[in-house]
């Protein structure tokens, strides 16, 4: 499997392997911070959304309880849930984290072995910090009408969107825990002794309730994915923000910039997200925004072909695009999930340094 294929697989496969030696996380495993977390504010809200009519709300057999079936009515879909916390005196541009495939914004919170996650750490470092959940996932919800229609035989099963589930035999390799199932790399930063806690973060991926094809979304710089529109709208509403995506969502910041809604001060792509099919006009637009691409270990010695081509195009247009391979800067053994790896805060410091030099000073 080449690097590009590996990353595309990683975009929608998540780890489901259960190790017999893995320990469960107890409350006592949590590692409290030495200093209190001081906030100006915290909360949550939704971005976007639209109202549609449904004739199949799923309550047809509940008439005896409700007095009427409530099978038809209006439902609101395509909204994006956002959780935030802001420090009293911000020192950096606001940052918005977007999770990867089969995951939610839990990805950025406490690590599987109880250490501080990036949501807290970036706030402590002076960032107004936002975690967004893909439309159709977790607290953002999805439109389930089509599943009820299939159940009621109103449409063919082949019309039902695909639901992605993680499998262990592919995930162990594509998340780069080791070269083959049950065998870890000699240098491995992911806390495998608490891998069961990672499995608890895994949820069904309803991506194709939002778009026709996951694969097409991974290779197209333009999209009708409502999450990307909401992502772009949030940056505009914040009056400026850095958009960060990982794995399945690594390309979302680029796609959001191309929506031309303004407000995107920088884009960060974790584990690729590059596009090899940008038009000249798209390159000119992207060249106005600083770009960071960061990948972990065991991917090979060079960026994949899409990143090489995009970097050449962006730099030729006068843009600012940085590629960081963690082993090249002395960080060995990082997995696909390096925001949860044992050196996750060291990795975060690299990102913060880049923000300070390429975004905050602009």
Chain segment 189-213, per-residue pLDDT in tens: 999 988 888 888 888 999 999 999 9
pLDDT of residue 267: 98
CA distances from 340 to 41, 54, 112 (A): 25, 40, 7
Chain segment 169-187, per-residue pLDDT in tens: 677 787 888 888 888 999 9
Model-level pTM?
0.91
Quote the tokens at residue 113: 């072995």
Residues of the chain with pLDDT under 50: 1-25
pLDDT of residue 26: 64
């Amino acid at each position: 499997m080449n690097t590009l294929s590996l990353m595309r697989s990683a975009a929608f496969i998540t780890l489901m392997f259960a190790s017999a030696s893995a320990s469960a996380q107890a409350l006592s495993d949590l590692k409290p911070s030495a200093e209190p977390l001081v906030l100006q504010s915290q909360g949550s809200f939704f971005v976007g959304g639209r109202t549609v009519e449904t004739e199949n709300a799923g309550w047809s057999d509940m008439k005896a309880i409700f007095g009427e079936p409530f099978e038809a009515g209006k439902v609101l879909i395509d909204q994006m849930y956002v959780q935030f916390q802001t420090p009293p005196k911000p020192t950096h541009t606001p940052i918005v984290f977007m999770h990867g495939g089969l995951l939610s914004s839990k990805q950025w919170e406490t690590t599987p072995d109880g250490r501080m996650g990036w949501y807290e750490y970036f706030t402590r470092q002076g960032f107004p910090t936002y975690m967004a959940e893909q439309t159709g996932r977790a607290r953002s919800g999805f439109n389930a009408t089509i599943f009820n229609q299939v159940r009621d035989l109103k449409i063919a099963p082949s019309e039902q969107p695909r639901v992605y589930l993680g499998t262990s035999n592919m995930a162990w390799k594509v998340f780069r825990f080791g070269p083959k199932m049950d065998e870890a790399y000699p240098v491995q930063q992911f806390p495998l002794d608490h891998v069961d806690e990672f499995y608890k973060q895994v949820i069904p991926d309803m991506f194709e309730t939002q778009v026709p094809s996951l694969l097409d979304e991974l290779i197209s710089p333009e999209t009708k994915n409502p999450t990307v529109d909401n992502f772009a709208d949030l940056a505009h509403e914040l009056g400026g923000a850095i958009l960060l995506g990982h794995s399945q969502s690594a390309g979302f910041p680029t796609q959001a910039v191309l929506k031309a809604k303004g407000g995107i001060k920088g884009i960060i792509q974790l584990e690729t997200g590059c596009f090899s099919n940008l038009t000249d006009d798209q390159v000119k637009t992207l060249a106005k925004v600083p770009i960071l691409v960061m990948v972990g270990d065991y991917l090979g010695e060079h960026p994949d072909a899409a990143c090489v081509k995009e970097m050449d195009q962006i730099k030729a247009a006068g843009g600012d695009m940085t590629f960081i391979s963690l082993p090249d800067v002395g960080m060995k053994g990082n997995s696909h999930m390096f925001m949860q790896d044992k050196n996750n805060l060291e990795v975060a410091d690299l990102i913060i340094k880049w923000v300070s030099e390429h975004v905050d000073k602009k």
